[in-house]
A and B are shown apart, each in its own frame.
Chain A
Amino acid sequence: MTARDWLLDDSPSSRLQASLGRFYRIAVALMRNPLSVLGGIIILVLIVTAIGAPWIAPYSAIGQDLANRLMPPSAAHWMGTDELGRDIFSRVVWGSQITLTIVLLVAVIAAPLGLLIGAVSGYFGGWADRVLMGITDIFLSMPKLILALAFVAALGPGIENAIIAIAITTWPAYARIARAETLTFRSSEFISAVQLQGASPLRVIVRHILPLCTSSMIIRVTLDMAGIILTAAGLGFLGLGAQPPLPEWGAMISRGRTFILDQWWVATMPGFAIILVSLGFCFLGDGLRDVLDPKQADKH
């Protein structure tokens, strides 16, 4: 029996085999869509770059070289140098760590929070539902960027506060999805069966409802990544996110603003990195939606 047969076995003999088989099927379906493959490759490159930054970046991210300031792109400096003679390519490479950190932390904070609120709201219904969804709706009807700006203004500039502010503006969408998903199977038989065995609401929600919400959550989080990256870069651009000398892409664009008319590369190069990574997440998210949620697929 080959590995492939084992993965695609219709009657898996263990949970591990079943979930590995599911992953394999999703991966195969994703491979058929060239754009999602491209997106996957971009995300992979981002992760590899972030981990391998010390070996990939030819120069340090903060080492100054005032003799070589504002040099145009060349063989020695692929993306040129900035106003302090720092190699822009190296800074973009090091900056991938910051971007990846922001994106991961926002996802880790906002997705579980939204999931839990949505699932509790959908499972219990009644007043809990009304209050929680009221709060969710108020957050949803607010402009995200402005809300994040105001929160950072109160919390103080800095990368941690930027992450908190973005997470605060991101969770409501996840709560809505989790609630909708929970409602579809709240009254189904397997939930009643677990309840009759005496499972506590906590156990029902955590062990039996949340796992079923994950696939739509993964789609939504992946699609949201581009927005999260753009908001983080925007905060950095306004000087409210990562502080200098950290090589955050948005902050780098902001530094290059002064030189945009003559030394265009200082501001443009980090922008390409932002676009590439955001597009990667969009492509992958679209592909994942097509595979995991075929109902929605042909609509977009």
Chain B
Amino acid sequence: MSFEPQTEPVGAAGASATLGRRRVLRGLGGIAGFIVTIALTFLGLLAITFFIGRVIPIDPVLSVVGDRATAAVYEAARVAMGLDQPLPVQFANYVADVLSGDLGRSVSTGRPVIQDLSRFFPATLEMATIGILIGVALGVPMGVTAASRQGSWTDQVIRVVGLLGYSVPAFWLGLVGLAVFYARLRWVGGPGRLDIFYDGLVPPVTGLILVDSLIAGDIDIFWNAVTHLVLPASVLGFFSLAYIARMTRSFMLDQLSQEYVTTARVKGVPERLVIWRHAFNPIRVPLITVIGLSYAGLLEGSVMIETVFSWPGIGNYLTTALLNADMNAVLGATLVIGAVFIFINKISDVLYRVLDPRAR
């Protein structure tokens, strides 16, 4: 501290003030840049869903009025859908509609898509959150252990588990899980969020059954929800575990090969401290990015899992809509999952830049 030269010129205070202002300005520029990137990406997402919904289908009107409609009805529907206008105008209208929360009406449920989505989203959120908790709680220690015993059989097992996360179909694992833990062993509840006789007993406050049942003070329903949630969340958690363990291992190997680790060992620091304090601390920041990516990935992975477990979330809504050719619902769900995905990605990107001094 005192080794620094103390002979700063008189103008130092002023200089550091401009420096501070410049830093603030750069920070503001960063935020503006971030907002522009996010807005552009969302616009890209909208362009893609617009393209899928309006450009690819040979005749979007036909899917609304049916092929027996008279020419007058057909024409009226075409004008009502705005399809008589040029594509850029259609796209502008589409963006305006989406921004005002109008995603159209679902053909199969008859309700506005936005209402359906907000009703189904909490179930997906609940499952993905428990899934990521399982993934982090098991994946990080596994990755650290594998790296600290590189080449041992523990390491090999963890590597294979990591690769299985890339090669096992999620829907298959869910089915096998149901067959073993529900049908054979009776350890967990079956498909759905609750047993049928508990359904609708808890007043929805947050839409998360675990939270709602606690608010209502109903422990029975809470436990029932837990038994239903544990299997799908574990299957989902397995995939984030595989990814997180793989990434943690490679980050840790990077750190453990650095010279400061050798120095710490030579100084006689206990191995446990070398690993968890010296080597693990610097990888916490990149890990946040990995966990963020993995969380976003789980929202996507839940599409398959929800279908298998009849879980009333957005994924299930999406696949049901797909089978009914309910395009408004498909595009709405795509838009919402895509938006959440992009948002989480960008947030973890920003967190990385804020927390890691090297990336500043």
Any B CB within 8 A of the CB of A126 = no
Interface size on A, residues (CB 8 A): 49
Residues of A within 8 A of B297 (CB): 143
Known: A271-B172, A275-B164. A141 touches B41 (CB 8 A): yes
Any B CB within 8 A of the CB of A239 = yes
The one of A146, A233, A257 that contacts B334, using a Cβ cutoff of 8 Å: A146
Any B CB within 8 A of the CB of A237 = yes
- Alpha-carbon distance A145/B333, docked complex (angstroms): 13
Q: Which of B326-343 contact A (CB under 8 A)?
A: 327, 330-331, 333-334, 337-338, 341-342
Any A CB within 8 A of the CB of B106 = no
| Min CB gap B177→A, angstroms | 10
Q: Would B345 and A141 count as touching, CB distance under 8 A?
A: yes
| Min CB gap A158→B, angstroms | 13
Q: Would B176 and A271 count as touching, CB distance under 8 A?
A: yes
Any A CB within 8 A of the CB of B13 = no
Q: Would B183 and A142 count as touching, CB distance under 8 A?
A: no
The one of B164, B176, B303 that contacts A279, using a Cβ cutoff of 8 Å: B164
| Min CB gap B295→A, angstroms | 12
The one of B296, B308, B323, B325 that contacts A143, using a Cβ cutoff of 8 Å: B296
| Min CB gap A273→B, angstroms | 10
Q: Would B337 and A146 count as touching, CB distance under 8 A?
A: yes
Q: Which of B137-163 contact A (CB under 8 A)?
A: 163
Any B CB within 8 A of the CB of A295 = no
Name which residue of chain B comes closest to A227, CB basis. Answer: B166
Any A CB within 8 A of the CB of B178 = yes
Q: Would B163 and A153 count as touching, CB distance under 8 A?
A: no
Q: Which of A231-246 contact B (CB under 8 A)?
A: 233-234, 237-240
Q: Would B169 and A274 count as touching, CB distance under 8 A?
A: yes
Residues of B within 8 A of A151 (CB): 52, 56
Residues of A within 8 A of B129 (CB): none
Residues of A within 8 A of B183 (CB): 260-261
Residues of A within 8 A of B166 (CB): 226-227, 278, 282
Known: A141-B342, A147-B48, A234-B169. 14 other contacts (CB 8 A): A134-B40, A138-B44, A141-B341, A142-B341, A143-B296, A145-B304, A149-B334, A150-B52, A154-B52, A237-B304, A267-B175, A274-B169, A279-B167, A283-B163
Chain A residues with CB under 8 Å of chain B are 134-135, 137-139, 141-147, 149-155, 226-227, 230, 233-234, 237-240, 250, 253, 256-257, 260-261, 264, 267-268, 271, 274-275, 278-279, 281-283, 286, 298-300
